[in-house]
Amino acid sequence: MSFKTAAVGSISGLYRRAVELVGWKAGGVAALLGLLGGAAHAPLHLWPVLALALSGFVWLLDGAAARPAPLRAAAWRGLAFGFGYFLAGLWWVGNAFLVEGTYPYLAPLAVVLLPLGLGLFWAIGAAAAVRFWSQSWRRVLVLAVVFSVVEYARGHVLTGFPWNLAGHVWTAGGPVSQVAAYIGVYGLTALTWAGLAAPATLGGPDTRWSVRLAPTLAAAAAFVALGAGGAARLAAAGEAVPTEVQLRIVQAQFSQDEKWRPENRDVVRARYLALTRESGLETRTHVIWPESALPVLLLEEPRTLDAISNTLSDGQVLLTGAVRRDVSNPIAPKYYNSLIALAMVGRSPVVEAIYDKQKLVPFGEFTPFAETMKKFGVGNVASVDTGFTAGPGPMSLDIPGAPSLAPQVCYEVIFPGFTPRGADRPGWILNVSNDAWYGNTSGPRQHFNQSRYRSIEEGLPLARAASGGTSAVVDAYGRTQDSLAIYAETVLDAPLPAALPPTVYALIGDAGFWVIMFLMAAAGLIGGGRRNTTG
């Protein structure tokens, strides 16, 4: 028996077993495949395992298409696959509920309910895909189109949560990731769905091995071409060009329960100031502290403002995350999760700009259906019991001594298109975050990888200060220029890299993604064979 015959026989055997699975067995295998696929994301980036997982998922949908109620069978498989995938990628969310003084009894619910909720998107996607299913290679394109649109919806519906899109399996700043400068991460997600699901055609009813193998070879060639194009773009870029803006990013580390204890306020403030004063401060133009760096209302703390003015020199600017209170209505004050720019003028701190976070984390910074939730003892994980108020949205801030910047607080940086464009296009992106809620897990590493995609998409450098996460300076190609290890307590001194002219994606947004959707849909539906029309 030749190797080819043995391989074809083994694949055909696995295919038959997958197609024959029903009920809980089909759901269990789908969930296991989803768990496997989750390893494709940071920090492992084992993207070949996603190819295995998606191929198995396609075979399960082949089985669903043959059932008496194909849409229900497909939805069940999609829900299970999505649950496993998001469980593998988001289990660390439960860590936020284990912080002292929050809601530890909700941790198991969060770990289960969030993947289930996101899995509903994939249940809808699986049912919609099977509605247009066929037994030819075109079913891979149908899957890619439907799930890419579903993922786009996941990034926009309600507050949106575009975490661990398929395009994120490629390390930001690497060759393949460079295509995001033209079609964004949603476009890269579409290509990834199609390319990594292509090996599914190795199994199927077609007896011609050349027909089975052709999509896999085409996908491999496409990714080689993308990688070669990205490598050429990076080679032409050369080394990042520094600007005259000299940054100092301060990374002080505290556990969340330690940081927010009232008796530790002086300790936290003293540590940030001590790190800021480390050798070389006189050469820095801008100092960056992370999200809600100090456990105080900064603008209402004369003692803290005095300490800052005694640390920085005239002309230097502090960019810091801070909780801000608006008392224009004393009976019902509003709280904001803000970024504040303080410039030193005459040895006094002057507020140059304020940005209030718009995209708030549900149950972290505000409670949906708050009154109902209170009856069940559910409030906010964050430090403000009443919850934060959302700001007006993305903007560019003008600050002394540097190009205008696009402030993005915490997970705002994972949203494509959140950076202003046109006449308001900034010179860089500033992301301040508090990743310490999630511990030393995969979560902060995924966050950093995703944040770097904004640099590639927009052609803008990124400065990032993240307590409990990766603080770094990233160039306009998504390449990390310098970074601090998670939980390192030190400072990062680096120049701000120069911006590029607006990328194609910065000019046309998601138009490239929708063109890809149209072309894939046309190829997947024209002459695609049998359609399933019953539920």
One-letter amino acid at 438 equals Y
User: For residue 436, what are its two tokens?
Assistant: 């310490």
What are the respective helix, strand and coil percentages of the chain, to the nearest 5? 50, 15, 35
Residue pair 408/430 in contact (Cβ under 8 Å)? The answer is yes
- State the angle between helix axes of 47-65 and 180-197 in degrees (0 to 180), rounded to the nearest 10: 60
Residue pair 129/61 in contact (Cβ under 8 Å)? The answer is yes
Distances (CA, A) of 495 to 109, 332, 333, 467, 517: 44, 43, 39, 20, 40
**Cα(248)–Cα(74) distance, integer angstroms:** 52
Q: List, as own/partner pairs, every contact residues 1-6 make where C-beta atoms lie below 8 angstroms and the sequence separation is at least 24, other chains included.
A: 4/209
Residue 351 DSSP SS3: strand
Set 151, 259, 291, 359: catalytic member: 291
Residue pair 284/247 in contact (Cβ under 8 Å)? The answer is yes
Set 259, 359, 365, 410: catalytic member: 410
One-letter amino acid at 324 equals R
Active-site residue flag, 291: yes
Which residues are CB-contacts of 515 (< 8 A; sequence separation ≥ 6)? none
**Residue in 303, 236, 306, 307 with CA at minimum distance from that of residue 271:** 307
Q: What are phi and psi of 392, to 5 degrees?
A: -75, -15
**Cα-to-chain-centroid distance, residue 183:** 17
Which residues are CB-contacts of 531 (< 8 A; sequence separation ≥ 6)? 131, 132, 133, 134
Active-site residue flag, 258: no
User: For residue 330, what are its two tokens?
Assistant: 């004393």
**Cα(170)–Cα(85) distance, integer angstroms:** 17
Active-site residue flag, 375: no
One-letter amino acid at 433 equals S
Strand order in the sheet with 462-467: 405-409, 428-434, 462-467, 472-474, 480-483
**Residue in 238, 231, 249, 235 with CA at minimum distance from that of residue 287:** 249
**Beta carbons within 10 angstroms of residue 161's beta carbon:** 22
One-letter amino acid at 203 equals G
Cross-strand bridge partners of residue 323: 337
**Cα(290)–Cα(296) distance, integer angstroms:** 14
In 155-301, where does DSSP find H-type helix? 180-197, 209-237, 256-259, 265-276
**Residue in 252, 335, 254, 266 with CA at minimum distance from that of residue 304:** 266
**Catalytic residue positions, numbered:** 291, 357, 410
